Structure 1
């Protein structure tokens, strides 16, 4: 079975975009385990404000250098996505392994040394495709890597933000007191700030998602995200991203040569 290049790259962009959002925007929702007795989260750099939150969160992630993320895509989508990521200001040094098991489809996507490898189980013959070997693939991978970089989202993001609310008495998550940021974003400006993405039509996105999107982001006193809860989009239900293991060692390896298939099979 052939997989179209557009479909696979669009999937990759959307998955990687979930990580990129941690550098600029964020989702919201009540946090499990939250406590009404939580005290104000002490901020090491003072209060998070509309003017400083994006840069501070990006800087904190660069300083941490790595993270583990668990993502639930929505109430109507069974399964989850798990990812380990090495964060670096140089997009070519970013590394990530993302595994997904949703609706009976299993996948393993890896970003290593500026290359992206994708294994979609039976859809790819249980082999990895080196996406950079496809016509134009290297440029597309470069764009994806740049978007995964949290710092790349800072520039131009301010134009998409139409409302900002910071509650220093956010819920406690995994023993960490948080500040809850509620952000309202202009949908069109948010996606335009990410740059052109093959197969992604912004007009269609705006029509589907609405003119604005509201997120809540839960930030620890170290300026690192602990949870993002995405709004209900397309009736799929809310999506939740949990961030743990900040700064812990992460080792991601490229697939073995005998596990990499001819990427020409993707064209169609």
Structure 2
């Protein structure tokens, strides 16, 4: 089966779209959707989102009929999810043939601590709300709002990490959140056979999160590893990793629920 030329006439929701990997994904998707598609860009940073909206609206895709909406929201809060859902419903047209949700929003958590230091339950709850509960509840709301029917393709991407599979010392919150999300999406793939579910690991990216990792990680072995990758130019650009994700989505050969890494063949 040859890869598709585009992703169709799609409503695409991208969380964490204002910068880094989410921003690169938004730019790539704008080039791979048919006219009449809509992007709903979600993040907490209004100025960055609106700058991206203006860029995409003025692009070739925008001039060809791509609709770009922004939602300035915290996905860890119920009102944020409600805003996303309302905007997505308003952006959807009946002749769209694809719903694509990119669960990208995430935070690193406090990597200056070890497991023995997390005695404050509210701190852990807050992290899990933003990084796990929000992804589950947003995905559920989108599935309810846009139920399966003939002619409609539905896809969900979970932006994951090697940390979902391997423990990193002093990264307990991040590893826990990524592992929990990945299992949740595996369960979703089993429950919804008509849904295309992908957990995509974008690799070590040259982003603000990497700066945080190099400067604040408590475990010195992990810290030196990331510092060394940066010094030796081994970090990936967001654009290179996003291009790989686009290829995976267009080829559409993955088994629903799979973990696919940027380095996979």
TM-score by length of 2: 0.28
Query: Would you tell me which structure has more strand in proportion to its own residues?
Result: 1
Query: Would you tell me which structure has more helix in proportion to its own residues?
Result: 2
TM-score by length of 1: 0.28
Greater relative CO (CA pairs within 8 A, separation 6+): 1
